[in-house]
Amino acid sequence: MAYLDICDVTLTFKGIAALMGVSFTVEQGTIASLIGPNGAGKTSMLNCISGRYTPDGGASGPCRISLDGECLLSLPAHRRTGLGLSRTFQNIALFKGLSVLDNLMVGRHGKLEYGLLASILYRGKAVRQETLHRRRVEEVIDFLNLSPYRHQHAGRLPYGVRKRVELGRALAAEPKLILLDEPMAGMNLEETEDMARYILDIAEEWGVTVLLVEHDMGVVMDISDKVVVIDFGQKIAEGTPEEVQADAGVVAAYLGTENAAFTGR
């Protein structure tokens, strides 16, 4: 059984189809990339998986989104987080007035096991859990080389560092599956290479399954185990990076039919 199973997902907005019967799978511990031209429906798919959007159904019947055999469609977003799902956003969504440390601690919120009263009194269980959560956050800070920025406000950090903080907050939740929405967007070459290494380490060292939306095709082809291509809301290809690069439909979607013919594909 695939770790993430997407089957026949259709999503419309006032009659306009964002996704039409899209199906694909992601195996545990791998990096899968979801690519396509602007407006193809990539972020809409991530929103359906994370619970921000609710699919209309399937093209010919019920659709399915499952994580490790657990159906997600009936669960609210916070319950999906509890099953091990975490994500970053295309537009950075940090708490600008909080420090890097506090932003990452927010990622631990779903792991808290004490109530409001214990939080106010800050004794016993609250103190013990705070210590445990802080330890996990410090591991993420070390992993992403964020130590120099630990106590700085997120809103004052360079863009590339804020991108890392957003990734760190998602990692702080101890995800089994992480959805990354254009993590390299707006970065320079050095920052992009660093982020690519972090993503590889997340999968190889931390054992986290990654579903990545990204426009940098060089990065996608270098780090992905599988690539899924959608265009105008429909899946047009799925396979290894080499298979996708050689697919005539993919070349046509990115370069146009005339250019695709010119390449001999």
Residue 151, pLDDT score: 95
Whether the pTM exceeds 0.85: the reply is: yes
Residue 259, pLDDT score: 47
Domain ranges for the chain? 1-84+175-265, 92-172
Residue 217, pLDDT score: 92
Please tell me the distance from the alpha carbon of residue 33 to that of residue 142, in angstroms, as a whole number.
26
CA dihedral over 215, 237, 21, 253, signed as positive or negative: positive
With tokens 């306009």, the residue in question is 16
Cβ–Cβ < 8 Å for 132, 174: no
pLDDT in tens, the chain (265 residues): 689 999 999 999 988 899 999 999 999 999 999 999 988 999 999 999 999 999 997 666 789 999 999 999 999 998 999 899 999 998 888 999 999 999 999 888 766 655 555 555 555 666 666 777 888 899 999 999 999 999 999 999 999 999 999 999 999 999 999 999 999 999 999 999 999 999 999 999 999 999 999 999 999 999 999 999 999 999 999 999 999 999 988 988 886 654 444 343 3
Helix (H, G, I), strand (E, B) or coil at 59: coil
Residue 203, pLDDT score: 96
Residue 260, pLDDT score: 45
Task: Tally Cβ neighbours within 10 Å of residue 2.
Answer: 15
Beta bridge partners of 211: 32, 179
The C-alpha R_g of the chain, in whole angstroms, comes to 20
Q: Which of 77, 143, 61, 138 is nearest to 110 (CA)?
A: 77
| Fold of the CATH domain 1-84+175-265 | Rossmann fold (3.40.50)
